[in-house]
Amino acid sequence: MSQTVSHAWVLKRRPAGRITRDDYDWVEMPLDAPKAGEVLVRTVYLSLDPTNRIWASDMAQYMPPVELGEVMRGGTLGVVEASGDENFAVGDVVQGMWGWRSHALQPAMALNKLPAQPGVPWDAYMSVLGATGMTAYFGLMDIGAPKAGETLVVSAAAGAVGSLVGQIGKIMGCRVIGTAGSDEKCAHLINDLGFDAAINYKTADLGAALDEAAPNGIDIYFENTGGPVTDAVYPRLNLNARIPLCGLIAHYNDEETGEGTPGPKNFQMALMRRALIKGFIVIDYLPRFPEGIAAMAGWLAEGKLQYRTDMVDGLENAVEGVNRLFDGANTGKLLVRCSEAPATP
């Protein structure tokens, strides 16, 4: 077998503000044939996530930061090209965390073989049936604990997690309001995803718009952003409201001032309304993933859930791709297509 050369993005320096190409080196890495217990994979999809910005920094976080000189971390789906492990065969489709590289040698233990299922495209495993779907499902169901008739507000609602949260909220019988950064996204939330109302947080008077969309107050706020939406939501919380604290994307590119991330302006309302605020990271729920995947797969099959993939072509465009998340240029789950996906049955 001829030697495989992997192309990879290696972190060169800590970003200041948005990540740029100058923060990374684009390198070639020759790979040996897999030894016993190893598998050579070709990357098909790379997940781009707001947390890429966190991993590239050395702030206190939920995983060790990516070290300088290391391949950038990222969730991946790929195809086995050569195997030194009896559990994996050439052509198997696998999922892992081998990061921003075109090919990788991975310990077999680090890979999860995916089932080929009729009518389920491979990108679904990077979205609705993957970590994104599990974030939406467990964040809303476990922490948000939605009840029929309650009002749910979700920020970054047209994004990967938010679009699923809102749809699950509708399945649970909630009144669902999404905030998003364009009129086009707001129309998508109402017309395609069945949200009851949508607010363009960049142009609306947020307080007045929430008063109109949520006349009975807010029982659940699925927090994806921080910033002005959060400030407008807190005064409108109902007694015993729940706030799954999923993300704070409005602050991930903040300049390091040593003062940390500001809290909500109306934080006292969490006390007055006895709100539950619970931060979570989706990996907390790994042992319960089968339950979440079964629920999401069921709703998908029944046509109750839709998901959308926003595809960047080419691993060489991954750095600019991440910034689509901070520009709000994506609708749905942002992925990089690094090579052609195998056909699905």
Ligand X SMILES: NC(=O)c1ccc[n+]([C@@H]2O[C@H](COP(=O)([O-])OP(=O)(O)OC[C@H]3O[C@@H](n4cnc5c(N)ncnc54)[C@H](OP(=O)(O)O)[C@@H]3O)[C@@H](O)[C@H]2O)c1
Q: Which residues are at the interface with ligand X (CB under 6 A)?
A: 49-51, 135, 156, 158-162, 180-182, 185, 224-225, 227, 246-250, 280-282, 325-326, 328, 330, 334
Contacts of 94 (CB under 8 A, 6+ apart): 39, 41, 77, 78, 79, 80, 88, 111, 112, 113, 114
Residue 248 vs 275, nearer CB to ligand X: 248
Residue 51 vs 106, nearer CB to ligand X: 51
Q: How far is the CB of 155 from ligand X (least distance, A)?
A: 6
Distance CA 66, CA 55 (A): 6
* Amino acid found at 218: I
The three-point CA angle 328-332-338 to 5° equals 95
Residue 273 vs 278, nearer CB to ligand X: 278
Q: How far is the CB of 120 from ligand X (least distance, A)?
A: 20
Q: How far is the CB of 158 from ligand X (least distance, A)?
A: 6
- DSSP 8-class letter at 159: B
Distance CA 19, CA 181 (A): 21
Residue 144 vs 162, nearer CB to ligand X: 162
Q: How far is the CB of 143 from ligand X (least distance, A)?
A: 10
Structure tokens at 156: 């970054």
Please name which of 82, 64, 60 lies closest in space to residue 73, comparing C-alpha atoms: 64
Distance CA 177, CA 172 (A): 14
Q: How far is the CB of 149 from ligand X (least distance, A)?
A: 26
Residue 247 vs 292, nearer CB to ligand X: 247
- Tokens 């922490």: give the residue: 143
